[in-house]
Amino acid sequence: MESNKNNYVLLIHGGVGTIIKENMTATKEAAYLETLKMALLAGENVLKNAGKATNAVEAAIKVMEDSPLFNAGRGAVFTHEGKNEMDASVMDGNTLDAGAVAGVTQIKNPISVALQVMQHSNHIILIGEGAERFAKQQGCELANPSYFYDEDRFQQLKMAQLHNEVILDHSGESAYQEGNIENEGKKFGTVGAVALDTHRNLAAATSTGGMTNKQFGRVGDTPIIGAGTYAHNKTCAVSCTGHGEYFIKNVVAYDISALMEYKQTTIQEAAEYVIHEKLKQQKGEGGLIALDQKGSYTMAFNTKGMYRGVVSKNHSPKVDIYK
């Protein structure tokens, strides 16, 4: 807990999965840790200059979206049709305003469009081409398909198609999921951030490139307020990552808030119950980061690892990968 005045806190995650040291090279590990740190510093830069929590989570997420390491923005995985369909959402814990986009393919930073939806439209969720028309009208930066092209990601798709699998179901133990393509198959690469700013406001945001080989315009929990993202000053800010369908049907992000509000649990108790009891019983894999107005926070996951980091006024950036 970090309850002193003018404190700020920023937490980030870069996805969960079977992320174990044995499958990681030293170079790759260093690259992940470095990018997480850069994301924290970008968000902290907003917060220490008295900026808003909503802008801090955007800044942190943009760094991860711009990196090919994470499954969001530039590093988005390929759908069955060989496209990159991305989703993102953001919520302001002070006003309860929210914005989200789903199924966008030409946007450089989906999280920035989600923020524009929140700030400059009467709606919360915009999807597909409509969302892209809005983004263009707002002057958001576009990117053509080659920007998202990554040889490793494309090979993932080919392997997944060869095995006729959507890389979403952890139960299959396919060889190609273990190590061959850097263990991507067992990783849910959604990125997210939650922040407390010096004005004592909370915000949460999440961004994803979906699941390799997914079909039919599938949308997971990331753009769903209440499932993948939720923020309310009186309870907490939450960003989730994992097997999206479980997070949708358990309304995970809002459930943390509801437990705190209606059952007076602490933020840690709420996360412990939802991630390690409720989801685990259903075999729903994933994790979340959550932060309250006093600066108490938790980073909970029921997988082998979660890319994650935290920075606050009194503590320099700390980044982690494994349990």
Q: Which residues are catalytic?
A: 190
The distance from CA 197 to its chain's CA centroid, rounded to whole angstroms, is: 19
Of residues 173 through 232, those in contact with its own copies by CB under 8 A are 214-220, 224-227, 230
CB atoms within 10 A of CB 137: 11
Distance CA 201, CA 175 (A): 46
The residue among 66, 80, 104 whose CA lies nearest residue 156 is 80
Q: Is 167 in the site for its own copies (CB under 8 A)?
A: no
As beta bridge partners, residue 229 has 225, 239
Site string for its own copies, 251-290 (x = CB under 8 A): x--xx--xx--xx------------------x--------
Q: Output the CA torsion 218→222→227→229 (10° steps).
A: -160
- In total, the chain counts a number of residues equal to 323
Query: Based on CB atoms, which residue is closest to its own copies, 254 or 301?
Result: 254
Query: Based on CB atoms, which residue is closest to its own copies, 7 or 207?
Result: 207
Q: Is 82 in the site for its own copies (CB under 8 A)?
A: no
Pairing of strands 125-127, 98-104: parallel
Q: Which two tokens stand for residue 145?
A: 């398909």
Selected from 234, 249, 276, 318, the binder of its own copies by CB under 8 A is 249
Q: Is 168 in the site for its own copies (CB under 8 A)?
A: yes
Of residues 120 through 149, those in contact with its own copies by CB under 8 A are 121-131, 133-134
Q: Is 250 in the site for its own copies (CB under 8 A)?
A: yes
Query: Based on CB atoms, which residue is closest to its own copies, 17 or 43?
Result: 17
Binding residues for its own copies, how many (CB under 8 A)?
47
Distance CA 52, CA 93 (A): 11
- Taken in order 56, 59, 62, 63, the sign of the CA dihedral is negative
Q: Is 78 in the site for its own copies (CB under 8 A)?
A: no
Of residues 94 through 113, those in contact with its own copies by CB under 8 A are 96-98, 102-103
Distance CA 162, CA 155 (A): 10
Binding site for its own copies (CB under 8 A): 91, 96-98, 102-103, 121-131, 133-134, 166, 168-169, 214-220, 224-227, 230, 244-245, 248-251, 254-255, 258-259, 262-263, 282
